[in-house]
């Protein structure tokens, strides 16, 4: 068919397995360390937080891990998600590049996050867990876990970073509609929250703080476990349905990407779109350039250190080797709340160390400008996080134009921005600052990295 815009797969084509890139890595991941002993964590160290099946996935080196049928059954509500050819954006840019985007905003919560929320809720339910605690930055992850909790009959309590909680009251309402509870973080409910409020009563919160609160709260009840929306190996694993579907859809289009672009907060949607393609390259197939777009105000990949660090501000989680700005670094309150995390997934960090991905830091105003150009051509209003991928894609498409080369670009449009209208109002009224992080604070946070013998 000429000029196809949308490439759709039927429900039978939802992947049957998740793809685990660990099987194809040229160098193994370094182990996570216990926060008390600094020795490698064993499965029993994680049992208070996660059910057995997820602990096994976290450590697995199997290339394929079967997706349980009850998870695929819920996935069928919105998966396979569409792959679009951005023909009107291409025309507006007057680029010879072909631009494709995988749209994850069709999920009930409006982003890629339910791909792992549904899986995590399923495994917790199977293990007899009654209640989950979690953090949320943008509110997308909290919504996704609230939805998944409703599907599997689990109570969900969400600690939402205070600046986002204030920017986006309707995200809280959405979580409550699915039966979850949502509180602003730092809160007076946990020891970590009380300590931070005592020192910084006006703290805007951060994902690192909210994670500490959720982990602490999970430890208070034997029927409660903790759920994380990014960073960990099993979370990235669950997101690989995105790239696997995109590969099949590009095959329908008779194309293969030269360039893949994703935005990176903790790394999960980026991994979801990119890992299946990077895996093909690691097994001897084509090797697209892979670009990770992060906010200039929280630049863990471009300015962070590759070192062992805590995943949270309260130092309750294991230490992992990752690109980090330091666990005490509190990023400025810019509008892509899902990208305000001090670290990066160990798997994404290792790929960068191996030179297999290219990081790029982008200022928020340029990303909103790209998002509006996208909305005015393609019609979909991206989430502020996704705008980073849109911006990176437009930059690449304009390079293609300057060089007169028609490359194929694939990017992940990981969520819609319907709950982010205040951000767009602020952008359009010229009120968004291109925050820079505080250099002194960054220096101090990096100076406080834990001393681990083998770095």
Interface positions with ligand PLP (CB under 6 A)? 111, 137-138, 140-141, 230, 263-270, 338-339, 383, 385-386, 414-415
Nearest-angstrom CA–CA distance, 56 and 199: 39
Contact 226, 49 (CB under 8 A): yes
Residue 97 vs 339, nearer CB to ligand PLP: 339
Contact 111, 148 (CB under 8 A): no
Q: With helix as H, strand as E and coil as C, how does 402-419 read?
A: HHCCCCEEEEEECEECCC
Residue 97 vs 333, nearer CB to ligand PLP: 333
Residue 263 vs 297, nearer CB to ligand PLP: 263
98-103 and 83-85: which strand pairing? antiparallel
Residue 7 vs 141, nearer CB to ligand PLP: 141
Alpha helices in 331-420 (DSSP H): 346-353, 364-378, 384-403
Q: What angle do CA 385, 30, 65 make, to 5 degrees?
A: 70
Closest CB 230 distance from ligand PLP, rounded Å: 3
Q: Quick one: how far is CA 342 from the chain centroid?
A: 13
Closest CB 405 distance from ligand PLP, rounded Å: 29
Q: Which residues contact 162 (CB under 8 A, 6 or more apart)?
A: 184, 185, 186, 203, 204, 205
Residue 67 vs 273, nearer CB to ligand PLP: 273
Residue 58 vs 90, nearer CB to ligand PLP: 58
Token pair in block for residue 164: 């986002």
Nearest-angstrom CA–CA distance, 419 and 431: 18
Residue 15 vs 295, nearer CB to ligand PLP: 295
Residue 25 vs 383, nearer CB to ligand PLP: 383
Contact 358, 278 (CB under 8 A): no
Closest CB 214 distance from ligand PLP, rounded Å: 14
The per-residue DSSP string of 133-162 comes to EEEESSSHHHHHHHHHHHHHT-EEEEEEEH
Closest CB 141 distance from ligand PLP, rounded Å: 5
């Amino acid at each position: 068919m000429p000029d196809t815009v949308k490439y759709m797969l039927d429900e039978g084509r939802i992947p049957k397995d998740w793809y685990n890139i660990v099987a194809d890595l040229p160098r193994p991941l370094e182990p996570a360390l216990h926060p008390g002993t600094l020795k490698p964590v064993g499965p029993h160290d994680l049992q208070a937080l996660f059910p057995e099946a997820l602990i096994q996935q976290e450590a697995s080196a199997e290339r394929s891990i079967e997706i349980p049928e009850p998870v695929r059954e819920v996935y069928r509500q919105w998966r396979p998600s569409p792959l679009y050819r951005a023909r009107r954006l291409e025309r507006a840019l007057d680029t010879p590049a072909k631009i494709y985007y995988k749209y994850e905003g069709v999920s009930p919560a409006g982003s890629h996050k339910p791909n792992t929320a549904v899986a995590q809720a399923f495994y917790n339910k199977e293990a007899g867990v009654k209640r989950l605690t979690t953090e949320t930055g943008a509110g997308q992850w909290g919504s996704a876990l609230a939805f998944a909790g409703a599907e599997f009959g689990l109570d969900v309590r969400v600690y939402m970073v205070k600046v986002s909680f204030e920017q986006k009251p309707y995200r809280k309402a959405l979580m409550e509609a699915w039966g979850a509870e949502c509180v602003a973080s730092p809160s007076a409910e946990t020891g970590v929250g009380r300590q931070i409020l005592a020192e910084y009563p006006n703290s805007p919160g951060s994902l690192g703080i909210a994670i500490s609160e959720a982990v602490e709260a999970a430890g208070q009840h034997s029927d409660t476990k903790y759920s994380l929306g990014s960073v960990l190996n099993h979370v990235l694993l669950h997101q690989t349905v995105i790239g696997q579907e995109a590969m099949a859809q590009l095959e329908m289009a008779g194309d293969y990407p030269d360039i893949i672009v994703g935005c990176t907060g903790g790394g999960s949607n980026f991994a979801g779109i990119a890992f299946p393609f990077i895996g093909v390259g690691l097994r001897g197939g084509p090797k697209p350039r892979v670009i990770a777009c992060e906010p200039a105000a929280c630049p863990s990949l471009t300015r962070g250190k590759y070192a062992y660090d805590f995943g949270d501000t309260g130092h309750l989680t294991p230490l992992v080797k990752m690109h980090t700005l330091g666990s005490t670094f509190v990023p400025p309150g810019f509008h892509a709340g899902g990208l305000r995390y001090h670290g990066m997934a160990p798997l994404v960090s290792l790929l960068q160390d191996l030179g297999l991905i290219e990081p790029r830091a982008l200022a928020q105003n340029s990303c909103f400008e790209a998002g509006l150009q996208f909305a005015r051509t393609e019609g979909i209003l991206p989430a502020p996080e996704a705008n980073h991928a849109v911006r990176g894609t437009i930059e690449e498409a304009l390079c293609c134009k300057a060089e007169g080369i028609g490359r194929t670009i694939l990017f992940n449009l990981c969520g819609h921005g319907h709950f982010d209208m205040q951000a767009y109002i602020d952008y359009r009224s010229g009120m968004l600052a291109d925050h820079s992080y505080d250099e002194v604070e960054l220096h101090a946070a990096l100076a406080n990295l834990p001393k681990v013998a083998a770095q």
